Amino acid sequence: PTQKDWLPGNLYQYQGFWLPSHYLQNILTCRNQFQPRQSDIFLVTLPKSGTTWLKAMVFALVNRTQYDPKSNQTQHPLVSNNPHELVPFLELEPRIDYNQIDSCPPPRLIATHLPLISLPESVKKSGCKIVYLCRNPKDTFVSLWHFTNKMRTEEMGSISIEETFESFCRGVNVCGPVWDHALGFWKESLENPERVLFLKYEELKEDPENHLRRIAEVIGCPISMEEESFDLVDQILELCSFDRLSNLEVNRIGKQPSGLNNSSFFRRGEVGDWKNHLTPQMALKLDEIIKEKLGDSGLAF
């Protein structure tokens, strides 16, 4: 796969969602080769919803005994690795070697952008934990537009916000439509609240301490009284903060195996940046689509 495969013109509709061709091939590989375990923890997001942040926080939580998350701790894997190197994506085979994942001690952390319907049946039946993170679609869109342009080569030129917006409103973006992706996991979280945690980027930004505690509980490693007494939650949040991660050398100058700069995963990290990019008409249009699509599900942005 190349970065080009990720762009709107190269997506294919499968089970109602728009996927790059290598995701389609890899879904089949996953079905045949990936052996889920009940102890697995899946981190599910749409691209640009806070995947990098969630990967960092859950990695730090799960590995806190082995790696002290104190922010001055230079040996922590998050200081020398981009979070995407520490938590693989299920659908990015052949980058993921399933044998390697198999040999990880439990719990294994696995990320995916796949919609619920396209996850292998074996994963859904495994009883694994799922942390789903979504984001206000207007901010997701703006983040996606910037990211898409970073993925385009010079000869391809940049893509206009209007053109990208038009595709996004039709649901044509990686693993879109956004509303259907979120609804699938929203309903799953209502049916299985002990196993599926549904989070919003905005809520995480507003009250990160309590949401980190909730994540820790659902994934089966709650913060103990003793850990509370030495401010473990704050230490993890500091280690995984936008300022800390984005200023690390690995994230300033490092690259993904695909050639993409690690810095592409860190832009502003704020809520409401859409106001700087969308016209009032665009914002209204997307709001109306989202409202109609989410209907009376109980989910709103």
Which of the residues are catalytic?
Answer: 113
Nearer Cβ to ligand A3P, position 40 or 139?
A: 139
Query: Is there binding between residue 203 and ligand A3P (CB under 6 A)?
Result: no
Query: Is there binding between residue 137 and ligand A3P (CB under 6 A)?
Result: no
Stretch that binds ligand A3P, among 15-23, 93-101, 139-147, 186-194 (CB under 6 A): 139-147
Q: Contacts with ligand A3P in 3-32 (CB under 6 A)?
A: none
- Applying CB under 6 A, among 50, 107, 137, 176 the residue interacting with ligand A3P is 50
Phi, psi of 196 (to 5 degrees): -125, 115
Query: Is there binding between residue 145 and ligand A3P (CB under 6 A)?
Result: no
Nearer Cβ to ligand A3P, position 47 or 254?
A: 47
Tokens of 298: 């109980």
Q: With CB under 6 A, what is the number of residues at the site for ligand A3P?
A: 21
Whether the CB-CB separation of 60 and 234 falls below 8 Å is answered with no
How many Å apart are CA 24 and CA 262, to the nearest integer?
25
- Applying CB under 6 A, among 47, 68, 98, 180 the residue interacting with ligand A3P is 47
Stretch that binds ligand A3P, among 4-12, 41-49, 67-75, 85-93 (CB under 6 A): 41-49
Whether the CB-CB separation of 131 and 269 falls below 8 Å is answered with no
Q: Report DSSP letters for 77-133, one per residue.
A: HHHHS-HHHHS-BGGGTTSS-HHHHHTSPSSPEEEE---GGGS-HHHHHTT-EEEEE
Helix 178-191 to helix 280-294 angle (10° resolution) is 40
Of the candidates 211, 233, 198, 162, the residue with the CA atom closest to the CA atom of residue 49: 198
Query: Is there binding between residue 85 and ligand A3P (CB under 6 A)?
Result: no
Whether the CB-CB separation of 6 and 173 falls below 8 Å is answered with no
Going 104 to 106 to 111 to 115, the CA torsion angle's sign is positive
Stretch that binds ligand A3P, among 42-50, 85-93, 220-228, 276-284 (CB under 6 A): 42-50
Q: Contacts with ligand A3P in 226-285 (CB under 6 A)?
A: 240-242, 245, 265-269, 273
Q: Assign 261 to helix, strand or coil.
A: strand
Tokens of 42: 């899946």
Query: Is there binding between residue 92 and ligand A3P (CB under 6 A)?
Result: no
Query: Is there binding between residue 185 and ligand A3P (CB under 6 A)?
Result: no
- Applying CB under 6 A, among 52, 82, 136, 235 the residue interacting with ligand A3P is 52
Tokens of 147: 């990211």
Of the candidates 113, 135, 127, 133, the residue with the CA atom closest to the CA atom of residue 41: 127
Residue 4 neighbours by CB under 8 Å, 6+ apart: 10, 151, 153, 156
Nearer Cβ to ligand A3P, position 140 or 167?
A: 140
Residue 220: other Cβ atoms inside 10 A: 11
Nearer Cβ to ligand A3P, position 39 or 263?
A: 263
Nearer Cβ to ligand A3P, position 98 or 242?
A: 242
Query: Is there binding between residue 136 and ligand A3P (CB under 6 A)?
Result: no
Nearer Cβ to ligand A3P, position 45 or 118?
A: 45
CB of 245 to ligand A3P, least distance (A): 5
**Binding residues for ligand A3P (CB under 6 A):** 45, 47-53, 139, 143, 146, 240-242, 245, 265-269, 273
